[in-house]
Amino acid sequence: MTTKEYESYYVPAQSKWPIVGAIALFLIAVGAGNYVANLNNPDSSGGGWVLLAGIALIIYMMFGWFNNVITESMSGKYSHQMDNSFRQGMSWFIFSEVMFFAAFFGALLYARTFAVPWLGGAGNNAATGAILWPEFTATWPLVKTPDGTETTAMGWYGLPLINTILLLTSSITAHLAHVALEQEKRGLLKFWLGLTVLLGCVFLYCQGLEYAHGYADEMKLYLDSGIYGNTFYLLTGFHGMHVTLGTIMLLVMLIRVFKGHFTPKNHFAFQAASWYWHFVDVVWVLLFVFVYII
């Protein structure tokens, strides 16, 4: 890197957005805390409103903050080095998300490999099985918990398989959109990116159908149906939230494409959204294997 590039590193002036974001996070945490702590207390519903106010404020912050960044970028204030900072920042953020999912995958694998078999008396735990819950048999998916809650396992064919195909296809269309952007083919870019957003939405719709199916009386697969239901809903639920976030990111990119933003050389935001989308896709493949198939 040349010295010249270093001289032009852009240090932004004071900004009000971080403190707005800090207050927003504070409202979200206080609101969510109050809401969750008073779940069984219908008289106090204040928490929900504080939570919504926090979410509204953080959306306002994102508009303002990203607006500043986009303006600065489009007026040519950013150097190649600045672009690198953003790229590296986004990569490490995605890595932190990988570790977040790792915690839940860890819980799933621990429960399957150790917790459930030990409850059934595996290893040197014969006494555990015999004394605590003699009737219990260790199986996976755990359709009957030690305390007798019964549920049904979600199969991998049908909706989950369709969803896998949807997400894998969307990763390809996201990539094709990127290629189109780099080749300056704006029409194709709009088409592929629009299709990606659409596939994300259809995925979310199917996921909703699947949840409705799980909560229906034939399946009785609830969030509190023992460790199988716990890991199923927490893993797919957090993944679904990430798909929602990724779809919104791609949608914003689509709007920006229609506004004429991005050049073949300068499109960090687009690339960040597309990286995020591929990450969400990879997590789904792991989910499909470990939650549904095996």
Partner 1 sequence: MTSNVINEQSTQDAHDDGHHDHKMTGLKRWLYTTNHKDIGSMYLWFSFIMFLTGGVMALVIRAELFQPGLQIVEPDFFNQMTTVHGLIMVFGAIMPAFTGLANWMLPMMVGAPDMALPRLNNWSFWILPFAFAILLSTFFLESGAPNFGWTFYAPLSTTYSNGSTAFFVFAVHIMGISSIMGAINIVVTIMNMRAPGMTYMKMPLFVWTFFITAYLLIAVMPVLAGTVTMVLTDTYFGTSFFDAAGGGDPVMFQHIFWFFGHPEVYIMILPAFGIVSTTIPAFSRKKLFGYSSMVYATASIAFLSFIVWAHHMFTTGMPLFGELFFMYCTMLIAVPTGVKVFNWAATMWRGAISFETPMLFSIAFVILFTIGGFSGLMLAMTPVDFQYHDTYFVVAHFHYVLVTGALFSIFAGAYYWLPKWTGYMYNDTLSKWHFWCSLVSVNLLFFPMHFLGLAGMPRRIPDYALQFADFNKWVSIGGFAFGLSQLIFLVLVIKCIKGGKKAEAKPWDGAEGLEWTVPSPAPYHTFETPPKID
Q: Residue 38 corresponds to which tokens in the numbers above?
A: 């008073």
Out of 180, 227, 257, 291, point to the residue binding partner 1 (CB under 8 A): 227
Interface with partner 1, residue 153, by CB under 8 A: no
CA distance 28 to 34: 10
Q: Is 199 exposed, middle or buried (0-12, 13-18, 19+ CB in 10 A)?
A: buried
Whichever of 14 and 265 has its CB closer to partner 1, that residue is 14
Out of 111, 166, 253, 283, point to the residue binding partner 1 (CB under 8 A): 111
Interface with partner 1, residue 251, by CB under 8 A: no
Interface with partner 1, residue 223, by CB under 8 A: yes
Interface with partner 1, residue 73, by CB under 8 A: no
Whichever of 164 and 225 has its CB closer to partner 1, that residue is 225
Interface with partner 1, residue 166, by CB under 8 A: no
* CB 166, min distance to partner 1, A: 26
* CB 139, min distance to partner 1, A: 10
CA distance 214 to 212: 5
Interface with partner 1, residue 253, by CB under 8 A: no
* CB 214, min distance to partner 1, A: 15
Q: Of all helices (H) and strands (E), which one includes residue 182?
A: helix 159-182
CA distance 274 to 291: 25
CA distance 124 to 58: 52
Residue 219's contacts (CB-CB under 8 Å, 6 or more residues apart) are 151, 152, 154, 213
Residues 257-276, interacting with partner 1 (CB under 8 A):
259
Out of 170, 196, 207, 230, point to the residue binding partner 1 (CB under 8 A): 230
CA distance 104 to 234: 8
Interface with partner 1, residue 131, by CB under 8 A: no
**Site size with partner 1, rule: CB under 8 A:** 84
* CB 2, min distance to partner 1, A: 8
DSSP one-letter code for 284: H
Q: Residue 255 corresponds to which tokens in the numbers above?
A: 């709007």
- Of the candidates 249, 236, 244, 254, the residue with the CA atom closest to the CA atom of residue 275: 249
Interface with partner 1, residue 68, by CB under 8 A: yes
Out of 52, 60, 62, 93, point to the residue binding partner 1 (CB under 8 A): 93
